[in-house]
Amino acid sequence: MTTALFTAPRTLLQMIATGAVFVSGFSANALPSTASPLTVSPAQDATDLFFADYTWCDAKMLGEFWGEGPGNAKVSAGKLLQDGDYQTVETKLTAARDYYGGQGLCNFTDEGFSYDDMVVVAEYWDISVTEAKTAIANKLEWGLPGVAHDIVEMAYTEQSHYDPAAIVETIAFENLNRDGHTLGYFVQRADGLWVELTAAGEEIFYFNEIERDPLVVTLFDASRNMEIHLDYHFNQIQYRYSSDQGAPKPLYAMGF
């Protein structure tokens, strides 16, 4: 008796490969190969791990401390982090900040800030743009990038509510005999400029505030080379030209 051998069904690919099945336009040699997995270099792994918790400014600080460039420093620190040695990175970075903090090693651009950001911060703090750049860079050097971002955010928030023409203070004035007839106003705007207005609200003269104490605010009109003294003690508005040697003279009575 002849025993029939049972042959398991072949897969479609096996059948194609052996020629048992012909598919028009299809070649077994054209079968897609399994793609190789995407590999990431150890250095890239270390860099990604470093930037998960630290900044480019931190890399600069560590590089200066270790005597290497920031590019190498971030990899060196990242490898320590890969080994779980966070303590060494923190210790070295703390030492670097203590030694180099405030020395201008970092720049405001290290955290992605722009020059326009620094202009807004300067206006917010009433300092120069150079001082704003330095202040933000110092925050980065001391490991406070979050604080730096908060400052910039607050500066923009303040700017959105800022109206340079808004009135901060208004002082009405009248004749020295106080007849109750308002002649005009001195107003201080939010940008610090003082303006003299007529009773109808027309702007006629502009002043910079040059001095202030609890009793007197001194203004200066460069166009007339003249000082105006808002004297809260005598409730008077006084004037004096720069060429005058004596005390300022009464001009108006304050009406408030």
pLDDT of residue 75: 93
Residue indicated by tokens 């190969």: 33
**pLDDT recorded at residue 161:** 67
Residue pointed to by tokens 């620190």: 77
pLDDT of residue 19: 43
* Interatomic CA distance for residues 61 and 105, integer angstroms: 7
Regions of the chain where pLDDT drops below 70: 1-43, 161-165, 256
Domains of the chain: which residue ranges? Answer: 42-100, 105-162, 167-254
pLDDT of residue 41: 60
Backbone angles phi, psi at 166, to 5 degrees: -65, 145
C-alpha separations of 16 from 11, 13, 93, 207, 224 in Å: 9, 5, 63, 94, 101
* Rounded Cα gap, residues 181 and 186, in angstroms: 15
